Amino acid sequence: MSQFLQPTILLLREGTDTSQGRAQIVSNINAVQAVADVVKSTLGPRGMDKMIQTGPKVTISNDGATILNLLEVVHPAARVLVDIAKSQDDEVGDGTTSTTLLAAELLKEAKPFIEEGIHPQIVIQGYRKALELALEKLEGFSINIAKDSAQDKRDTLLKCAQTALNSKLLANTKHFFSELVVSAVEKLDPNILDRDLIGIKNVTGGSVTDSFLVDGVAFKKTFSYAGFEQQPKRFENPKICLLNLELELKSEKENAEIRIEKPEEYQSIVDAEWALIYEKLEIIVKAGAQIVLSKLPIGDLATQYFADRNIFCAGRVTQDDLLRVQKATGGQVQTTVNGLNPETFGTCGLFEEVQVGAERYNLFKNCPQSRTATIVLRGGAEQFIQEAERSLNDAIMIVRRCFKANKIVAGGGAIELEISRFLRHYARSVTGKTQYIVNSYAKALEVIPRTIAENAGLNSIEIMNKLRQKHAQGGEEGRWYGVDINGASGVCDTHSSFVWEPTLVKRNALCSATEAACAILSIDETVKNPKSDQDTKMKPKGQPGRPPMGMRR
């Protein structure tokens, strides 16, 4: 009997949830499907928005990364999806939904293999091989636009921006906004293309088409003291002095203490303090500054002093605004006024304070060496503008990428189908299990056009058949057929209807989706420690897990 009386060995803390084996992989795959389902309906030009309420804050968004982030996914495997969406967002800015969908679809295709007992590593190898081929093909299919003239290049950028905006709230005004975005990106230094130098300012009220681009900097009127209104509000070619310095009457050092022996000395201390601030102000005025901006507060005394001398000032300008002003006007931020050199002053064509909606804005326009731009967004409701900002952000990222990469492919599911066709063709030439797996990869790619069609309310089966047929013809003419949401037939040559996307987006999407799928497939055990006591008390039924007897193997 003794062989049956194996002692129970407790390795882990009580309540620890462990799941392992094939069932674990399947279970993870199912969880991923559930998450992907949430974002599925946002794909494509007819994609819908999600409204997510977290506490008092409501977000309405179409952006995959934003939605996944707000969902607060806690499932460990499903979190991988959130992470790839985020990495896609950071890397290229757009295509987050398609990446998520693709990863989920790859897993879904892998599920039958796992269930049938094929080792996950074989699936992973197959997927990696397929990815390699797909990327190779992607490069081969992409169209280089670098050699075209500047005008053509601009056109291409516009097209790409429009494609990115297609699925967003701004779809109807995409021509307007793509123009805005491309002009903004063109302002940047083409070698660096620093995204931070494009400012987006939101002002509620007005129509979206009232949004405008400032070829320079715009920021909201900062907190001002009495006397501000007496300052001039318009300059042409002003000298702009940028400071990181507090201009206020205040104690010089925190822990200083003064001991005065004679009452007569009292006045001298007071005078000394005033002299300190006046000295600073005088230097600025003498140097000939006409606009003084500071990151730190500019007090009432300084405000009035400047008002008396026809100088405009603004304190508490935020860091990134100041940085943009610096870039736009060519000035340098000074941390002290000692030895203030007029050469460090920037300048711009026109400075003006104007009313935008209910706010007053400071605009610095026509900057000579402008390497920065600001988009002032208008719209009906706060959420509307926020979503518009996210959409513009996507478009800006795309244009930026396009600027650098110069290679595009046709969107609307065309490139996915073309790669899919190629992979299917290739699969026939392989022997062994890999054949099935490459085939599955090809099938998974079709999820993109299928979802676009579904979301648009089209008959997805019919559309897929038409598309497969077009692509099966091979060669140039069938290559770029994708889903057409406007026409009657449902399919069209998306390349000639200008649904263009940078190759880089697709490349990154394919890579990260495949990587994520492989990562999830290779997990065969999850060890989840119980939460700390407080949490478990609050949520005793949270995740019952299997009783500890599961450990007795």
Partner 1 sequence: MSLAFDDYGRPYIILRDQGQKKRMKGLEAYKSNILAAKAVANTLSSSLGPKGMDKMLVSPDGDVSVTNDGATIVEKMEIQHPTAKLLVELSQSQDAEIGDGTTGVVVLAGKLLEQALTLLDKGIHPLKISDGFDRACDVAIKHLETISEEIDIQANEHEALIQAACTALGSKVVSKRKRELGKIAVTAVLDVADLARRDVNLDLIKIQTKTGGSVEDTRLISGILIDKDMSHPQMPKEVKEAKICLLTCPFEPPKPKTKHNINISSAEDYKKLYLQEQQYFVDMVKLVKDSGANIALCQWGFDDEANHLLLQNELPAVRWVSGTDVELIAMATGARIIPRFQEITPEKLGKAGSVKEVQFGTSNERMLVIENCQCTKAVTILIRGGSQMIVDEAKRSIHDAICVIRNLIKDNRIVYGGGSAELACAIQVLQYADEVSSVEQYAIRSFADALEGIPCCLADNCGLNPITSVAQAKARQLQESNPRIGIDCMELGTTDMKEQRIYETLSSKKQQIQLATQVVKMILKIDDVIAPDDY
Nearer Cβ to partner 1 (195/539): 539
Name residues contacting partner 1, limited to 256-275 (CB under 8 A): 256-264, 266-267, 269-270, 272-274
Closest distance to partner 1 from the beta carbon of 181 (Å): 19
Name residues contacting partner 1, limited to 17-56 (CB under 8 A): 23, 26-27, 30-31, 34-35, 38, 41, 46, 48-55
42, 59, 66, 96: the active-site residue = 96
Closest distance to partner 1 from the beta carbon of 162 (Å): 16
Please give the angle made by the CA atoms of 509, 515 and 519, to the nearest 5 degrees.
145
Closest distance to partner 1 from the beta carbon of 29 (Å): 10
Selected range binding partner 1 among 227-235, 340-348, 444-452, 496-504, rule: CB under 8 A: 227-235
Closest distance to partner 1 from the beta carbon of 91 (Å): 25
| Coil/strand/helix, residue 110 | helix
Here the tokens at position 473 are: 């013809």
Site string for partner 1, 364-403 (x = CB under 8 A): ---------------xxxxxx--x----------------
Name the nearest CA neighbour of 455 among 93, 97, 68: 97
Active site residue 394: yes
42, 59, 63, 329: the active-site residue = 63
97, 99, 222, 347: the active-site residue = 97
Phi, psi of 276 (to 5 degrees): -60, -50
Active site residue 97: yes
Residue 123, by phi and psi: left (phi above 0), alpha (psi -120 to 50) or beta?
A: alpha
Site string for partner 1, 51-90 (x = CB under 8 A): xxxxx--x-x-x--------xxxxx--x------------
Location of structure tokens 């991988």: 80
Query: What residue spans of 117-211 are helical by DSSP H?
Result: 120-141, 150-165, 174-187
Query: In the set 5, 358, 496, 540, which binds partner 1 (CB under 8 A)?
Result: 358
Query: In the set 129, 155, 186, 205, which binds partner 1 (CB under 8 A)?
Result: 205
Name the nearest CA neighbour of 222 among 290, 295, 285: 295
Q: How far apart are CA 316 and CA 314, in angstroms?
A: 7
User: Interface with partner 1 includes 307 (CB under 8 A)?
Assistant: yes
Name residues contacting partner 1, limited to 482-521 (CB under 8 A): none
Here the tokens at position 358 are: 């209910």
Q: State the angle between helix axes of 22-40 and 96-116 in degrees (0 to 180), rounded to the nearest 10.
A: 150
Q: How far apart are CA 306 and CA 322, in angstroms?
A: 20
Active site residue 148: no
User: Interface with partner 1 includes 308 (CB under 8 A)?
Assistant: yes
Sequence-distant (≥ 6) Cβ neighbours of residue 123 within 8 angstroms: 110, 113, 114, 437, 521
Nearer Cβ to partner 1 (212/225): 225
Residue 235, by phi and psi: left (phi above 0), alpha (psi -120 to 50) or beta?
A: beta
Distances 124 to 105, 260, 430 between C-alpha atoms, Å: 14, 81, 16
321, 394, 484, 493: the active-site residue = 394
Q: How far apart are CA 503 and CA 151, in angstroms?
A: 20
Name residues contacting partner 1, limited to 419-458 (CB under 8 A): 456-457
Active site residue 16: no
Q: State the angle between helix axes of 96-116 and 447-455 in degrees (0 to 180), rounded to the nearest 10.
A: 120
Distances 525 to 21, 22, 76, 404, 528 between C-alpha atoms, Å: 6, 9, 11, 42, 10
User: Interface with partner 1 includes 551 (CB under 8 A)?
Assistant: no
Closest distance to partner 1 from the beta carbon of 434 (Å): 28
C-beta of residue 315 within 8 angstroms of C-beta of residue 237: no
Nearer Cβ to partner 1 (257/343): 257
User: Interface with partner 1 includes 462 (CB under 8 A)?
Assistant: no
Closest distance to partner 1 from the beta carbon of 51 (Å): 5
Closest distance to partner 1 from the beta carbon of 390 (Å): 13
Nearer Cβ to partner 1 (74/192): 74
Closest distance to partner 1 from the beta carbon of 478 (Å): 27
Which positions are catalytic? 63, 96-97, 394
